[in-house]
Amino acid sequence: MCVLDAPMIPLPNAVTACFEHIFPGEKDRDKRLRDVIALALSELIAIYRTDGDGGLCKLTDAEIVAEGLLRDPGKLLVSRDDLERAMARLQGESLDTARVRLALRHSPKSK
C-alpha cells in the first residue's frame, strides 16, 4: 500500500506530496520551503501523534510547538482527506499570489 493511500500520513510524506502538487515537475531542494509547507499545513489541518496505546491524539498549537513540528516531524501524522483539501487550498492561494506578482510586475511604477 502506498503511504498516501493510508488514512493517516506521516507529516514528511504529506509535505512532499504537497510540494509536488503545488510545484509539479520542480525539484525539492530547499529545506526552508519544506518547513514553510509544514507550517502552512499545521495552520490548515489537524496534526496528530500516536498515543502510547496506538491511538491518535490531535495536537493543540502548544503541543505542536512542543512536539517539534520542524525538528522531528516524522512522529506526526495528518489525515489524507484533510491533506487533499489543504493541497487544493494551498495551490489556489499560490496561483492567486502568482497572479498578483505578475500584475504588479507589469503595472506602471508610481513616482
Task: Output the pLDDT for position 50.
Answer: 80
Q: Strands (DSSP E) along 3-109, which ranges?
A: 8-10, 48-50, 56-58, 76-79
Set of cell numbers at residue 12: 514528511
Single pTM value for the model: 0.73
Q: Supply the pLDDT for residue 53.
A: 80
Grid coordinates belonging to 44:
490548515
Instruction: Please tell me the predicted confidence (pLDDT) of residue 19.
Output: 87
pLDDT of residue 22: 80
User: Which residues of the chain, if any, have pLDDT below 50?
Assistant: 1
For residue 8, what is its C-alpha cell?
493517516
- Residue 54's Cα: distance from chain center in Å? 24
Output DSSP code: residue 69.
T
